[in-house]
Chains A and B, each alone.
Chain A
Amino acid sequence: MLDPAATDALVLRAQAGDAEAFGALVRACEWAVRAWITARCPAGADADDVAQATFVEAFKNLGRYSVGGDFRAWLFTIARYQVMAELTRLRRLADQRERYVPHALWQELERRALAPDEHEDERLAALRACLAGLDDDARALLTARYADELPLQQIADQRARSEGAIKKHLFLLRERLHSCLLRRLARQEP
């Protein structure tokens, strides 16, 4: 993120119609907003679409932002509304049975959407560092699962292993990443 003075300068330029300045604001806040929204949207939501909608609403309301305030907090207020709207939309969708999320987890996501913590970008950075510490094969498996979104059976076929073995491997990798994250975030605590 930019420092407050630089942010204010960009906001003033953007308020005066400078599209480049608004682009710079998006660039400065991109990962913080995307990570925060992704962390609060369940599978089935297009988190990047929600993030873009957040910036569009920020753009529309930029004239209401008072320079000297906390731009990040202002932006995250918009993000909160967008996420809550997305959660409401998803709950209403008929195909939620195919994308089952436990009710208590929905509530947890909604609580987190209203919470003031806006530092998922730090968690994302820590997660990236933890991923970098994995071997190539483990990263390839996670990429197939999470970036390429391949069905587990297809991953298992490609690797000549059972689907159960792939699930077990993924479980262990997630556990390892979770422990790594806790250690890294504990070190980052002020």
Chain B
Amino acid sequence: MPDAPAPEFAALWQAFLDGGLEPAQAEALERLLREDPAAAAHAGDLYVEHRLLGLALQREETGRFVQATRARVAAEGRSFAAQVQLRLTPAQPIVVPLPVAVPARRLPGWPFAALAASLLAAALLLRPGVATPRPDATPPALPTDSAAVATLVLIDGARWQGAALATGQRLAVGDLELSVGQALLRFAGGAEALLDAPVALRLESGGSALVRRGTVTLRAAAQAAGFILRSPVAEVTDLGTEFALSVEPGGATTLQVLEGDIAWRALEAPAAGPGTMLHAGQALRVRTSSDRTGEPLACSAPSIAARIAQSEAGAAERPDGLLSYDGFAYPFATTTSRQHQAAGGFGWRSPWFRQQPDNDLVLDFTPGASLDAPVGLRPGQGGTMELPTEPEKPDTYRDACMRRFAEPIHLDGDVVRYLSLLVRRSATTAGPTHHWLRCMLISETVPADRLGFGVLSDGRPELIGRFGNSVAASPLIDGQPYLCVLKLSCARGAPGQTFLKVYGQREVVDAYEPAHWTVVGQAGRFPGVLGSLHIYNGTERAYSIDEVRLGTTWQAVTPRF
């Protein structure tokens, strides 16, 4: 939830909504919203409600909108081909929304549709300034945000053909070629695919992919059932199961079912039916696209879980993507900014200091008392950083404890970063309000820009950013330690986004990036460079912080036993 807006906001806002906003007031409102991103986000929420009131109170007959839309569609259908022909004129302004261009597997049946589609394609090709891929072009699977169909959740020694992809990157429709190593993808529809190099595939949508060569093992839980995996000769529909699909250089395809059932068909055969089911433990080789029966084989493929266990065992021996770390192994309970003593860990270009170093404010630590980590996470070895209460302080903001990263986060390229820390909210308070916490990454290049996460006074975790805050449903329990993992994902030319996962002490930390986050942030373009971490709290609730990590992978910031 955004911070409370300035007192004058209410009067200005009311005048804006109901009329009577004087020019000077309009200027004041402009200034207020421009200078305070939280107020702008709050105004956005209020404006949404204002607009939705009109819709909620609208008196209309049931089905009016559907009838009107169908009538308009019918009218468009009759004149569509003619309209498309008109659009062939380059001077005609064209706004043709074309979402993710997935190859159609079924042609429209309307008589005009085929003509219209071809004319539309011609119009797009002729339209100046519009980059339209050739029909046979295969654009690479560039990381993107709004059109992401899959996320790269785990890699093991992976090298990609023509791309440098990192864990956590989100992938759009396009081709992927893994030359060396292994990688685990999670599709938007929920299915997970383990790629074993060498493998080449095309991501078609959040629920389908084409394997051109190599082996892909796919696991689709019940909610992700229906995933379609194709090869040059066969198509497999996952019915809630795990199976491996291997494509030989000539296109012959081997299917091995590890769990559950699949439905398969050769591409030139009719749609899959009961006669083309394969069950757990069964395997067969489909030689050509007209091979309707396949050749039975013994099933020998290992499960995804077994492969990942092997991968993790190997990964434990290798250095990871940890960029900055502090476990607060300090022998003192207090120091000050000017003493430059709180300089432990690695990957920093400054010691911890309070935001206004001239005041030489105190930094507090508890030596030798780490916070308990959730199940599976490597426990801390040092102490904790303490953010005590300061009820005597007149303002509501405590000066942040901050530290600069040795390797700032440049947001103008393809970048994924994970920030984790353990946090405990004190069970006691020094007053009725200002019980919040904030852990913010601060821009070095864009004034007042920052993003991060925090805990509201009522205990609910939140994601904070210039595009609005997002709040979790459930509060943290006072006195209990939690692991918070922030993910920041940015892609060149696409909006970035943040995600937050919170684990309680008894929860098992995911071995790799989770499918479900506690809070998903607002998407937007994050410019500039994030150079430092600021941690601060409200004046009437203490917090303890431990095991701060910044890294390039989920595994780097969630080290396991």
Q: Name A's B-contacting residues (CB within 8 A).
A: 4-5, 8, 12, 15-17, 19, 22-23, 26-27, 30, 34-35, 38-43, 47-48, 51-52, 55-57, 59-70, 73-74, 77-78, 80-82, 85, 100, 102-105, 107-109, 111-112, 114-117, 120, 123-124, 127-128, 131, 139, 142-143, 146-147, 149, 152, 167, 170-171, 174, 177-178, 181-182, 186-190
Contact = CB atoms under 8 A, between A and B. Distances in A.
B16 A102 contact: yes
Contacts of B227: 68
Residue among B76, B147, B228, B472 with most chain A CB within 10 A: B76
13 contacts: A43-B51, A55-B73, A59-B73, A64-B101, A85-B95, A105-B33, A108-B40, A115-B524, A116-B145, A116-B497, A127-B49, A142-B53, A186-B473
Given A63-B108, A123-B48, 17 more contacts: A30-B65, A38-B54, A57-B97, A59-B77, A67-B105, A68-B208, A103-B30, A105-B47, A108-B33, A117-B522, A120-B52, A124-B52, A124-B55, A142-B53, A146-B53, A178-B46, A190-B473
Interface in B144-177: 145-147, 149
Interface in B407-452: none
Nearest to B209: A68
| Residues of B contacting A: mostly | mixed
B204 interface: yes
B52 A56 contact: no
B208 A69 contact: yes
Nearest to B102: A66
Contact of B467 (A73, A115, A128, A186): A115
Nearest to A103: B30
A69 B206 contact: yes
Contacts of B98: 61, 64
Interface string B456-485: 000000000001100111100000000000
Contact of A104 (B1, B33, B497): B33
Contact of A70 (B17, B19, B206): B206
Nearest to A77: B99
B205 interface: yes
Contacts of A142: 53, 57
Nearest to B228: A68
Contacts of B497: 116
B49 A66 contact: no
Contacts of B45: 178
B546 to A, nearest CB: 27
Nearest to B11: A171
Nearest to A45: B51
B23 to A, nearest CB: 10
A67 B106 contact: yes
A30 B66 contact: yes
Task: Tell me whether chain A's interface is mostly helix, strand or loop, or mixed.
Answer: helix
The 8 A-B residue pairs with the shortest CB-CB distance, nearest first, are A189-B473, A81-B97, A104-B33, A69-B205, A77-B99, A17-B109, A68-B207, A108-B44
B306 interface: no
A105 B55 contact: no
A26 B69 contact: yes
Given A38-B52, A74-B99, A189-B471, A63 B146 contact: no
B68 interface: yes
A64 B102 contact: yes
A149 B18 CA distance: 11
A18 B63 CA distance: 18
Contacts of B96: 57
* Interface residue range, chain B: 35 or more
Residue from A42, A48, A188 having most chain B Cβ neighbours under 10 A? A48
Given A26-B66, A77-B147, A128-B56, A107 B207 contact: no
A176 to B, nearest CB: 11
A158 to B, nearest CB: 16
A39 B52 contact: yes
A186 to B, nearest CB: 6
Interface in B22-54: 26, 29-30, 33-34, 40-41, 43-54
A42 B52 CA distance: 11
B109 A174 contact: no
A111 B46 CA distance: 15
Interface string B168-204: 0000000000000000000011000000000000001
A190 B205 CA distance: 26
A63 B106 contact: yes
Contacts of B107: 15, 63
B175 to A, nearest CB: 16
A17 B52 contact: no
Given A60-B76, A63-B117, A69 B102 contact: yes
Interface string B96-135: 1111111111111110010011001000000000000000
A27 B66 contact: yes
A5 B207 CA distance: 12
B106 A73 contact: no
B512 interface: no
A74 B104 CA distance: 14
Nearest to B74: A19
B49 A152 contact: no
A60 B116 contact: yes
Given A77-B147, A147-B59, A60 B51 contact: no
